[in-house]
Structure 1
Amino acid sequence: MFLPLPRSTRMPLFSAESRSCLFADPVVALGDQVLRLYWRLALGFCLGLSFAPMAAAADLLPAQQPLLQPAPPAPSPNVMFTLDDSGSMLADFMPEGPFPVNGAAVTLNGTAPCGPSCTRYWLAAFPADPRKLGRGPTGYLDGVVSAAKHVTAGDDAIFQMQFRSPDVNALFYSPDRRYLPWVTGSGGVRRPTFPADKAPWDVANASAVFNLTGTLVVDATWCAASHLCSPGTQLFSPGLVYRLQAGADPTSANAYRRFDVNVDGEHAPVVKAPGRTDCLASRCTQAEERQNFANWFTYHRTREALTKAALSDTLVQYQGRLRLGWSQMNGSQGLLRPGAVVQQPVLSLSSEHLGRVLAGLQAVQSWPTTPMRSAVEAVGQYFRQTGTNSAWLNDDGDASAPAAGCRRSANVILTDGYYNDFYVGAGDVDGKDGPDHALSNPGGWRQTRYLARRPHLDGTPALADTLADVVMRDFVEDLQPGLPNLLRPGGSDIAFWQHLNTFAIGLGVQGTLPAATDEQRRDTLRRLAQGVLNWPDPRQNTAARIDDLWHAAVNTAGDFHPATTAEGLSAELDSVLLRASTPAQVMSSQVAYAAGAGAELSWVQAMFEPGRWSGDVRLVDAAALQGNALDVPPKWSVSDQLRRSLQATGEAQRRVFTWHTGRGTGVAFNWDELDDLARAYLGSASVVSLVRGGSVPPGLPASWRSLQAQPIGGVVNAPPLVINQAVDMGYQALSDRAAAAAYPVYLAERAASSASGSVGFGSNDGMFHLVSGATGDEVMAYVPAGAWPWLPGWLNTAYGTEAQPHHLGVDGPLTEAQAWLSGRWETLVLGSMGGGGRSVFGLKLPSNDSPPTANQVVFDLSNDADLGHVTTPVRVGHVQGAGWFAFFGNGAASPGGRAALLAVNLERPAEVHRLVVPGGQGNGLMAVQLLRDAAGEVIAIYAGDLEGQLWRFDLAAGGPTSWRVGLDGRPLFQSAGVSQSITAAPVLVPHTGGGRMVVFGSGRLITATDALDTSLQSLYGVWDPTLDQALTEPPASPGSSGPFQPRTRSNLQAQQLGGPELISGQVYRRVSAQAVDWARQAGWVLDLEGLPGWRLLHTPQRVLSKVLLNVVRPGQVALPCESTPAEGMALLLSASTGGAPQAPALDTNGDGLVNAADASGVAAVASSVDGWGLLQSESVRVGEGDARTAERRPPDSGGVCAPGFHLVRRVSPGGAVAPLCIPCEGQCGGEVRRIVDRVWRPLLQPPQPR
């Protein structure tokens, strides 16, 4: 449904000629929701991002989930919250002291000894709090901090100011924050507000109130420090608030500004803070300020109240995403007894259960003791239960329902203190190896038990019965021996058996080890692992028990988060829940990487997290790959590196760029530099900052999230691109003599570079990322224009749920290319958004000695009516007399619905040329293959379309105006009568009769329904006898001298694929070898009979006179914990006949040789889903020649084989690279290639373990 355009608004005009958008006026303000929607619809059409495309295009819209290897749906994780309900949770100050403020030490309470005759006091900000009286720590007396307006100097004034300043005491009232009552459920309904003159101390007892509006005369024990107190009578002004000046000394009374909510004019700052959305004017009124103060008093004043508020607001965001239960350390009646710790079992977080959980949490009443070890032991016992009470059941409480062996479980401890229970029973769990789970390891994981190593070990001396020991027992042991062990390890969590991860949030507490920031924690853990530090003995002092809390998290692959502010608690809760509820990462692809010729081989692995869709790209040592590929610590992780960078320097230091549609150039991705189109989609500077990795600014709704914790989106369908320094693309013979002469110099400069290359990848966060191959540090990032509409959704806390469904980002394949632009050679990276949007872009690789700028952006095509979802690689080439172009098929679901070859002029990117093939709507041109002449210049292009036609495009040297659809505008091939889309690029092999064999296959995997398609698909080889020097004269049809007619199946010799045969433990198939009668036939066809769902999705590879074609069957959507992996089969066929090679070509007997002892007629073998195993595995070898053993020689120092030999590579499973020269079969075709590093193909969506 389209909304009418307001008359005052001027429409964007669409030019059918230029297919671009022209705006007469800038975009108007977006306050009106109707106007906002109209503009987004209109702008979407201009970008080619129609929100209501034609029906034909809608049928081709790409799926937003991985299709080749669907991730098995992960069952909702179990999360148990264990609440500290000790008396210290009633404190109205935080953090524990001493602590630094602007370089000065401040102490609000007296945890440190103060002398043998010293009396310590349990302080309160307000007198006569009925819940605090007599409930402080043992040995403390009750005291009240003064709130006297007449006191302006001395210790009394300074302590009063510190205690009543939110800049020092993180719990005290801040005029910058809006305080709301606790939320009660998913509907957003909150508890009632109360007037400031009748504010309840505790909402559970609303009749016990305090008057916050007037000055009181109070008889109490008044404190100028936690141990300097004396009885007396004082005036008490409850509305006093102090603000410490930025960077000022907190021990100086002159550094504070006083406010009093009870004095009009002094009640609030002159200009309200952005977060005060409750105030209507630019300054909050006294009534508004008093109400906010009263809300804080009742719902946020104490640690207990703050915890309830933060928990309630956070848990609402996770409804439907996890299973939740909660426990309290002292039990429901303050007595620790069996069954009293777990208050509510973990159940699916429905609206009803959420309401019950929040009601229970908000009713907790804190008591004096902290029996933490006994409480977490009880939680562990709960997770060991079976039957009706099992936490692993798929249906709550139904013992007959199946249980999920891959369900993740976590216990989140929320505490402000130091455990003080007497406990014996666990022993020294982290000091010895754990039980071995090797006999129940269906996933084949490498590490099958906990090994007692640092940083888990206590150090010297070894300790027993620590909190770290108690929780580790529930990590190293299988909590459910009766369930199959189907968890996927990841990161520091090595456990594939059912176990419990412990996460801990410390409210305002600190241990003896440096742990205040992520960087400090990483450094401390490194020193613990090296043995430089030991875990402190928690028996020696109370602060060491906070270290033990952290140790507990480390031992169980959880995490420890200190929270010293109210905002920090909410952020840490969200971070913990996010990690606890997110399944382990799935590896979507991996690409081989070597820093230079002969360098050690590594693997670049791309990851994504199903459900949350965050991800990572990491580098691992190939030699370390034993067992499962995910079970290896990385050399670097882009997510970790970027997270550290954001924490250290902030998002402003990142080099992120995007496109300016008006100027047609790249610009920095900053709000001030964006054009009106980008601003209309993104909405505000806050959104841009969040996309860059900034923090959530005050005033934004709770539904917005920061990406700092998980700064990289999932890398789903397109593998990373490894960009090395020594790629020779053979441009020394170009017709452009200046470019040809400069090319060897360019190659030499690149080879001499000390840099170890780069890695580029696109991700769900809407960016292309370029990172250093040596360190994983981000070099630059690019946001295509087509990503703008989806970025606000990516920032929603509900992203990945039904409320905010997952949407692919920059998901198309990447290509490295070289081009002579503006008188110099440039290394280019070209990519597309694939299923994530209609956008194709090109970037120049920055030099090693200068930072990237917006000039790296060459083009971004997002506003062309012929542009669909380009899910195939972009190719670059030089056309004589015309220049350098980026060529690509227009893809599926274009607004125009036709199939077209698009060509972007790289020197003048505004020029987009197109060749449109005849046909109707609902078509699209797919992957292209460039035909180059002896000089390396493009003379023709081959590509298939969605209707099963294979086209040739002739690029005459006269320029784009003389380019045309070849063969008199007719396709080279039509799959007449059979619906067979051709999406992979063909491979070209010279034909003995002149021209070339065009070898390709059918099949597509674009939409969700494609994955279920079981129609017959085929492999083809079609002879195109066109000679390169006679492009203007199409060849005649076979057996005819008339005009060219498209080849069809009736013109082709059929080959047959045999059934599976098990030979030496490997599954093979035979293929017939019928001869082709070239006088009347135009090639061959091999139907994939008996293989429903199998198809060709990857470009075939030429292996001398043969072709390697890899067909796949997509995996199917599985039940939770189950995986139905994609299957692959590689076929090594004669390029000319499509049959099996005449001599044995595969090492079927596994003796390491290809000779007469191997089976003949065998041409197909089960492989990985892209055939990589066929070329790399030691057990399957590709050979050439007759019955003799092929001679193997090393290439010369320049990487060149001797005449009569052809260069191949073999990579062993251990990662050793062996470049070899083997004899050619007949003519080598003059193909002498130099060794280059960029030769690896990705393993797309590797099968996951069952």
Structure 2
Amino acid sequence: MHKNMHLTRAFRGVSVLFAILAGGAQAATDISSIPLYAIQGVDPNIALTIDDSGSMQWAYVPDALSTSGKRYRSSRYNGMYYNPAIAYAAPPDENGVPLSTTFAAAWLNGFNHSSGSVNLSNSYQATITFNPNGGSHSRQGTLESSSAYAADYYVFNSSKSGCTGSPTDNNCYDRVIVSSTSGAGGTDERQNFANWYSFYRTRNLATISAALLAFHAMPDNVRVAWQALNTCTGFPTTSSCSGYSGSSFSSALDEFSFGSTHRTNFYRYLMRLPASNGTPLVPRLRDAGEMFRSPRVYQSKPGVTVTGEKQAVCRPNFSVVMTDGIWNSGDAGSTIGDADNTAKTLPDGTAYARTAPYPNNSDKTLADVAFYYWANDLSSLANDDSLKYMPVKTNETVTSIDGSASVTLTPFWNPKNDPASWQHMTTFTIGLGLSTWLGNDWTGDTWGGAYRDFVTGVRAWPSAFSDAKPGNVYDLWHAAINGRGQFFSADSPGDVVTAFQTIMASVLDRTGSAASASVSSPILSSNTLAYQVLFNTTDWSGDLKAFRFSNGSNQTPCDQLTLGTLCPTPEWSAASLLNVRAPSGRAIITNNGGGVRFTWASLSASQQAALNGGDSLGSKRLDFLRGDRSEEGKSFRKRAGVLGDIVNSNPAPLYVGTTEKFPSRKPMVYVGGNDGMLHVFDAASGAEVLGFVPNAVFPNLIELTKTKYDHRAFVDGGMTAQEVQIGGAYKTYLVGSLGLGGRAVYMLDITDPSRLTESNASSIFKGEFTHNNLGYLTGAPKVVKTLAPAPWDWVAVFGSGYNSSDNKIGFFVVPLTAPSSGRFIEATADWANNGISSIATVDNNRDGAVDSVYGGDLFGNLWKLDMSDKNASSWAIAYKSGSKPAPAYVAKDASGNRQPITAAPVAGAHPSGEGEIVYFGTGQYLGVSDITNKGVQSMYAIWVKPSHYINMSRSDLLKQSIVADYTNQFATSDARKTTDNTIVWYDEENKTGPAAANTYLGWYLDFDTESGERISQAPFLRVDRVIFVTVTPNDDPCSAGGSSWIYELDRFSGARLKDQTPFDYNNDGVFNSADFVPGSGTGKVPGSAIRIKGGGINYLGPTGVVSEDGNKERKIISSSSGSLVSIGESGSRQMNRTWMEVIRK
């Protein structure tokens, strides 16, 4: 099995950020922008413990700092003081609106204006302490001629006369008066100074701001509880939590959704965070651990008991502790004892034998508490592997600082990992202003500096006890190690913000399981390479990778593999190549009414307005989209890479069609990204050649730069590359949809790859079609030749999509050379929330021109569009019932329930030579609500005759059935057997009535043995076989993916194959009776379907790779787990088919 794993985390709740994309009030088809197989995990529990001790009033760090002299007003000496190199963001209120202050009237407390304001231009005095409750101040003594002065700061200058080069020397500082020109490059820094003064100048203010910024960026569906060291202790469930003023409320764990009362109360408490009393850290961390013992924290809604509720065993618990002091009061209790220095058996059976760096020589310490609540099972719920977080998967050797000792850590005992499969508490700690106690032992990394001595046993952790110095500072670090989290030593307001944000990002990264590790869409194959696209739900980055096939020659390690096996190492990664590409060197075009360069000057006024978004950062946003990363972490969000996630856009190769027209054309691969553009990559090297930004995505491009980014689709639909003849000249057009990215279809001329440059933008871009009846089109448009004269001789045809502006659904036909003339051909408006997305085109008489188009809707109607007429105005729905268009078939289950059709059909010739057999599956797998739908779905084959019977029902079809599953017969796969009933066709082609007794107009197979099984991908044909993939979603929030079967049946009858196994079930490379399953009596028969063992995987469309002798194939399938799965399959005679002929998205 070929694997490409990128650990990804997706909350089931966060996935609902898909929102319902709707065009009008009545449009409400549930469609997720995140693939349903990637939705996994549950909302995490976060317990915040925050310092409200008296030292939080201080405006300096560290504790022993002198508050006199110029040096005090320099960030070089006093880390809390204003640093001109830092942009101090105004923190948000509970509604996400940034709080405000001004230089002329800067609030003494930006969160409580009752303390008043100060004019920083003439009445400034540097703060030493500030009590947020009442606003009492102590200020630095006079350095200037008056007690109040213009706001200023000092810059360290070692070249000054008399300077010793030490930051403690007051002779080493130059004064800067804050003004409209005092900033870098002569810029105005007055607002930045005002923000620092009102929101960051003391430990209390900086901590509040950092927490507000960090929690604002959290998804709505985390669950949060909070306490301080001296107030709201124990996370009260009653309304007894309050700050130094304001109302009281509960701070117990609850949902943190935007706009919720709980979220509002959290913000209100933080904005009134006291600063008095001692630092009882140890009992407060114990309170967090005890809270996670409560059954309420594992309920779907904390504190709400639901009869029969299945509690999520994979719900993780995180404790975040922020303090500026050395713990000095309180006790952990006798139960905790010397937990980290006591041998024990962990809940998963692993023995703990006081292994470094976990034990110390003190008991009842912070580290003991963290270890206790990590090492003990906090719930009676079952263990779950998805609770594990294992970024380091192999042994790691650590050497002591002096090189005298080393230790090899297994993944389980590596502190960088959290291997606990039981319900436990993971601990993160932040120490503000404590670095001087650590000295050179601290190098800025939890697992660096003196950690190397602690883990190798060269040194022991310093003793920790009440008010111990420096032992209790090390104890904060030690607690994070023991709790399998991270420690952050912060020496400035910026450090506090970074620490909180890093912890919150880590919480998101750790949530979920590797079952959703990396998810991918179907791959493409050429003669030599397979292309796989991937995305990562942690950071919404993406990649396109190319893999070579083994040629079986034994010349290289890969070629020593079986012929046709995928090589394990990619030939290239488009994401890696793009990350080192200079933004200015990329060729990107867009549509502003015509094809133009994607530069600020080339955009229309409306496009510029969309990118500006009210803050005039539009040109910088455009640079961001082009790959510039200079504003990441400042004005814009940080990206893991330039290439955005690639979800539903299947790669399309350039070289489909009659390649003899362009024998020397350089191959390209086209794929849409949710970074706002279509990408063109060199198929051989992976280098990006061109990007295209459709006009329809401009209204949402601003979302890509937001620091709180909720996933959105942009260029996320299907596409078709097709050779056409325009005005006598052969061209190649690419026509694509945007999926949920917009209601539009774009058209590009990609004939000559050497001309895919910005300077040729006007000739590359051919149109962007929009229409009131066009919804979100997830399927690929088709490009076809017709019998009509120009401009209707070559057209793009596609369904009306989902959630259009009204209830009308049907088909669009758009001339390639005159897109604005496109027509909508209505099928029906009888149902709200309907739609047609994926289609199939048919050339019945094989004259090279399309005759029919088929597409299904969400109410089970299979529609046929007749395009056989030479007059384009005569193209219409093929059948009528009275005066209204009628479907060719209505799919209903045995109980008469309509079955939705979302996947494209496929058509094949009927053995009589009359009409065609249309194959399609039913099932809806679009939105979160579909996951739990258990209705019976089916696979159909319908004979559409020239004299078609539009009232056909399942009584006119041969029934095939699932007989049995064999889950123990083969080591690596499961087998499924279906019936082999024989079909007798109702061959009176001129009769339009129902089939006669014991004759049939097609066949069907119900998926009635596995609840929820359905088809969401197009079937495809291999001569006399039909191949299709089903998916059964997993509605367990602790397990992503689901399961899939790949069926291969006789396409004419739907029966299992008669005498040849379709699959190499035992994986021995031979297709023989050893792959058969039990038949009647002692006989053996071929199976009908295969499922690879190992749950949590569904398959995203197979690609057949035919071997040289044509007798067997190897299906290369991309799975929802990020694996490329290779399945041996018997051939059905050699076929020379391109990808576009094999699979229709």
Q: What range is the shorter-chain TM-score in?
A: 0.5 to 0.7
Aligned with residue 608 of structure 1, among 506, 513, 537: 537
Partner of 1:812: 717
Partner of 2:1024: 1105
Partner of 2:49: 81
Partner of 1:873: 780
Partner of 1:477: 375
2:212 aligned with 1:305: no
Between the aligned partners of 1:565 and 1:71, the Cα distance in structure 2 is: 38
2:1019 aligned with 1:1088: no
Partner of 1:999: 919
Between the aligned partners of 1:1112 and 1:837, the Cα distance in structure 2 is: 27
Letter in 2 for 1:606: F
Letter in 2 for 1:1201: D
Query: How far is 1:668 from its partner?
Result: 1.7
Matches within 5 A, 1:12-51: none
- 8 Å Cα contact 1:809/1:836 also seen in 2: yes
**CA separation of 1:1103/1:1155 partners in 2, compared to 1, >3 Å: closer, same or farther?**
farther
Deviations 1:758-790 (A, max 9, x none): 784544x65556789999998876554333344
Query: How far is 1:869 from its partner?
Result: 1.4
**CA separation of 1:243/1:864 partners in 2, compared to 1, >3 Å: closer, same or farther?**
farther
Letter in 1 for 2:863: L
Matches within 5 A, 1:1027-1046: 1036-1037=946-947, 1046=950
- 8 Å Cα contact 2:649/2:715 also seen in 1: no
Aligned with residue 958 of structure 2, among 1054, 1058, 1065: 1054
Between the aligned partners of 1:468 and 1:825, the Cα distance in structure 2 is: 74
Matches within 5 A, 1:831-850: 831-841=736-746
User: SS in structure 1 opposite 2:907?
Assistant: strand
Partner of 2:24: 53
Aligned with residue 801 of structure 2, among 884, 888, 891: 891
Between the aligned partners of 1:310 and 1:645, the Cα distance in structure 2 is: 32
Letter in 2 for 1:812: G
User: SS in structure 1 opposite 2:941?
Assistant: strand
**CA separation of 1:530/1:364 partners in 2, compared to 1, >3 Å: closer, same or farther?**
closer
Partner of 2:1050: 1134
User: SS in structure 2 opposite 1:92?
Assistant: coil
User: SS in structure 1 opposite 2:902?
Assistant: coil
Unpaired segments of 5 or more residues in structure 1? 1-48, 97-108, 110-120, 125-143, 147-158, 223-233, 278-291, 334-341, 440-447, 625-632, 733-739, 751-756, 801-805, 1026-1035, 1038-1043, 1183-1193, 1243-1250
2:862 aligned with 1:949: yes
Partner of 2:905: 986
User: SS in structure 2 opposite 1:939?
Assistant: coil
Aligned with residue 347 of structure 1, among 250, 253, 258: 253
Between the aligned partners of 2:807 and 2:198, the Cα distance in structure 1 is: 61
RMSD: 6.7
Partner of 1:133: none
Aligned with residue 1020 of structure 1, among 922, 935, 940: 940
- 8 Å Cα contact 1:889/1:925 also seen in 2: yes
Letter in 1 for 2:201: R
2:845 aligned with 1:926: no
Letter in 2 for 1:986: P
**CA separation of 1:1007/1:205 partners in 2, compared to 1, >3 Å: closer, same or farther?**
closer
User: SS in structure 1 opposite 2:152?
Assistant: strand
Aligned with residue 679 of structure 1, among 569, 588, 609: 609
Q: How many residues align?
A: 973
**CA separation of 1:436/1:206 partners in 2, compared to 1, >3 Å: closer, same or farther?**
closer
Between the aligned partners of 1:538 and 1:478, the Cα distance in structure 2 is: 23
Between the aligned partners of 2:366 and 2:622, the Cα distance in structure 1 is: 38
User: SS in structure 1 opposite 2:801?
Assistant: coil
Partner of 1:192: 114
Between the aligned partners of 1:1165 and 1:887, the Cα distance in structure 2 is: 33
User: SS in structure 2 opposite 1:1096?
Assistant: coil
2:636 aligned with 1:706: yes
Aligned with residue 203 of structure 1, among 116, 131, 139: 131
Between the aligned partners of 2:382 and 2:329, the Cα distance in structure 1 is: 36
**CA separation of 1:929/1:526 partners in 2, compared to 1, >3 Å: closer, same or farther?**
farther
Deviations 1:424-476 (A, max 9, x none): 9999979x99967667xxxxxxxx99999xxx9879xx998899976873686
Query: How far is 1:1125 from its partner?
Result: 6.6
- 8 Å Cα contact 2:429/2:487 also seen in 1: yes
Partner of 1:30: none
2:314 aligned with 1:406: yes
**CA separation of 1:304/1:529 partners in 2, compared to 1, >3 Å: closer, same or farther?**
same
Letter in 2 for 1:409: N
Aligned with residue 660 of structure 1, among 587, 591, 599: 591
- 8 Å Cα contact 1:767/1:784 also seen in 2: yes
- 8 Å Cα contact 1:1111/1:1170 also seen in 2: no
Between the aligned partners of 2:697 and 2:115, the Cα distance in structure 1 is: 42
- 8 Å Cα contact 1:691/1:707 also seen in 2: no
Deviations 1:378-410 (A, max 9, x none): 626742567659755666578999865322222
Aligned with residue 92 of structure 1, among 59, 70, 86: 59
User: SS in structure 1 opposite 2:662?
Assistant: helix
Between the aligned partners of 1:526 and 1:1023, the Cα distance in structure 2 is: 74
Between the aligned partners of 1:323 and 1:853, the Cα distance in structure 2 is: 48
Between the aligned partners of 1:720 and 1:708, the Cα distance in structure 2 is: 24
Aligned with residue 768 of structure 2, among 861, 866, 876: 861
Partner of 2:246: none
Letter in 1 for 2:768: L
Deviations 1:1140-1176 (A, max 9, x none): 3333645698596443954467765474899977998
TM-score, reference length from structure 1: 0.61
Partner of 1:8: none
User: SS in structure 1 opposite 2:42?
Assistant: coil
Deviations 1:592-623 (A, max 9, x none): 77999778x997543436xxx95655979999
**CA separation of 1:902/1:855 partners in 2, compared to 1, >3 Å: closer, same or farther?**
farther
Between the aligned partners of 2:600 and 2:441, the Cα distance in structure 1 is: 36
Aligned with residue 151 of structure 2, among 233, 241, 254: 241
- Identity between Structure 1 and Structure 2 (%): 16
Partner of 2:563: none
Between the aligned partners of 1:513 and 1:886, the Cα distance in structure 2 is: 67
Deviations 1:84-128 (A, max 9, x none): 9585x665346x7xxxxxxxxxxxx9xxxxxxxxxxx7322xxxx
Between the aligned partners of 2:620 and 2:822, the Cα distance in structure 1 is: 36
**CA separation of 1:1087/1:850 partners in 2, compared to 1, >3 Å: closer, same or farther?**
closer
Between the aligned partners of 2:913 and 2:733, the Cα distance in structure 1 is: 34
Aligned with residue 981 of structure 2, among 1072, 1078, 1085: 1072
- 8 Å Cα contact 1:659/1:784 also seen in 2: yes
**CA separation of 1:384/1:690 partners in 2, compared to 1, >3 Å: closer, same or farther?**
farther
Query: How far is 1:307 from its partner?
Result: 1.8
Letter in 1 for 2:939: L
User: SS in structure 2 opposite 1:123?
Assistant: coil
Partner of 1:112: none
Matches within 5 A, 1:790-809: 790-791=700-701, 808-809=713-714
Deviations 1:1196-1229 (A, max 9, x none): xxx6436xx57554789998987989564xxx4x
Deviations 1:908-957 (A, max 9, x none): 4745544625544656443222446999955345322426133254468x
- 8 Å Cα contact 1:950/1:972 also seen in 2: yes
Between the aligned partners of 2:227 and 2:1128, the Cα distance in structure 1 is: 64
Between the aligned partners of 1:679 and 1:555, the Cα distance in structure 2 is: 51
User: SS in structure 2 opposite 1:929?
Assistant: strand
Partner of 2:106: none
- 8 Å Cα contact 1:877/1:884 also seen in 2: yes
Between the aligned partners of 1:85 and 1:942, the Cα distance in structure 2 is: 72
- 8 Å Cα contact 2:366/2:475 also seen in 1: yes
- 8 Å Cα contact 1:1055/1:1085 also seen in 2: yes
- 8 Å Cα contact 1:502/1:558 also seen in 2: yes
User: SS in structure 1 opposite 2:1029?
Assistant: strand
Unpaired segments of 5 or more residues in structure 2? 1-19, 100-110, 164-170, 234-241, 244-249, 392-417, 549-556, 559-567, 970-974, 990-994, 1080-1084
Between the aligned partners of 1:543 and 1:851, the Cα distance in structure 2 is: 64
Deviations 1:470-511 (A, max 9, x none): 687368634425222344445625544333334444657768
Between the aligned partners of 1:787 and 1:1163, the Cα distance in structure 2 is: 47
- 8 Å Cα contact 1:900/1:917 also seen in 2: yes
Partner of 1:590: 520
